[in-house]
Amino acid sequence: MTNPPYGLLAEVTHQCPLHCLYCSNPVELRAREEELDTADWVRVIREAADLGVVQVHFSGGEPLVRGDLEELVAEAAGLDLYTNLITSGLGLTEVRAKGLVAAGLDSAQLSVQGDTPESTERIADSKRFDKKPLAARIIRDAGLPLNMNVVLHRLNLDRLDAIIDLCDAWGAERLELANTQYYGWGLRNRDLLLPSREQLAGAEAVYRRRKEELASRMELLWILPDYYESYPKPCMGGWAQSAFTVAPDGMVYPCPVAADIDSLSFPSVRSSSLAWIWEEAPAFQAFRGTDWMPDPCRSCDRREIDFGGCRCQAFALTGDAARTDPVCVYSPDHDLIRTAVERANSDAPAPEPAYRGRGRPPG
Ligand code: SF4
Ligand code: FES
């Protein structure tokens, strides 16, 4: 008997005003013409609620690009689901924030890429840093708690103190410091973004100091940089264990970046029910539990702790989603990680940034 899923990540669009170097969305994005329409999304949300989902995270791309977001939030809230908006803040106006809150939005998470217009432009290929404080104010004025997120890497780790100051000044109650995971587009920029050991240690010390200092008003969370760990993360709490993603075109995946695993045939809400997908679709069964595991995971004491790591990372680095995550020190492919880490700690020149849609840096 399969446990019911807890969360739905509704990627309502891949359209986005930012072009972040670390973007974990697939290299090939879904076009606007391929997106599910409002009625399709309403059906998806209803089926998700019937299946046992209790949280819906509206994401993308930038979900505010969709003019029907308020309608989708209202549908989810009407079914008593917890609703969260994951946004760059670009496109957020007072009118839209009021509309979303009236529709029942429970929380919003605002991303920030750097602490200055220049660093934001370099990381996200965007000249609209000024919209970030505005979005933060609008979220707070709408009565929502301000949750923020920053993806950390070689280009901004040294600015962690300043980034935390900024989020504090904007009134953040929670700040997620997410060390980059190298998937999708972001894997192309890995050698540019992977920090050195020393840089990472400095930033972690900043995190620990500021976490204590700010404890009374802001919660700081540190998401581990897995390339520097000995064991992999228990990605998604295990394959198809507690959440799933519906992509803009209706394809359904056990996690947000599984679309790149071309050895699996993923189902679509256009042709199958969510109940069948969750309980029976072969792609969802493929890595559930521990029966699929190869050696060394099969006989390892940690197999119920990390589930062999991340299937997407195994596929991205080895071409085989059924291999042990190369992050693991026991993995026969661990050299793939060791080589990248050695390069990040050497004098090798930084490669040029690769932005979606073009190959050169701004300016
Ligand atoms: Fe985890 Fe597999 Fe490594 Fe054991 S061998 S620590 S189960 S990834
Ligand atoms: Fe897909 Fe880890 S990101 S399983």
For helices 335-344 and 311-318, what crossing angle results, to 10°? Answer: 80
DSSP class of residue 161 equals H
Percentage, residues of the chain above pLDDT 90: 95
Kindly indicate whether the ipTM for this predicted assembly is greater than 0.85, answering yes or no. Answer: yes
The CA distance from 219 to 223, in Å, is 13
- Does the C-beta of 193 come closer than 6 Å to ligand 2? no
pLDDT of amino acid 358? 63
Residue nearest atom 1 of ligand 2, based on CA coordinates? 312
pTM for the predicted model, two decimal places = 0.94
pLDDT score of 360 more than 80: no
Q: Are 122 and 353 in contact (CB under 8 A)?
A: yes
- Does the C-beta of 235 come closer than 6 Å to ligand 2? yes
Q: Any bridge partners for residue 148, and if so which?
A: 110, 175
Which ligand has an atom closest to residue 292 CA? Answer: 1
Single-letter residue type at 355:
Y
Tokens read off for 309: 């790591």
- Does the C-beta of 257 come closer than 6 Å to ligand 2? yes
pLDDT of 177-226, one tens digit each?
A: 999 999 999 999 999 999 999 999 999 999 999 999 999 999 999 999 99
Among 102, 99, 120, which residue's Cα sits nearest to residue 111?
120
Through-space distance between the first and last CA atoms of the chain, rounded to whole angstroms: 56
Q: Of 118-127, 172-181, 238-247, 338-347, which range is least confident?
A: 118-127
Q: What is the mean pLDDT of the chain?
A: 95
pLDDT of 244-271, one tens digit each?
A: 999 999 999 999 999 999 999 999 999 9
Three-state SS across 250-270?
CEEECCCCHHHCCCCCCCECC
Q: Are 344 and 337 in contact (CB under 8 A)?
A: no
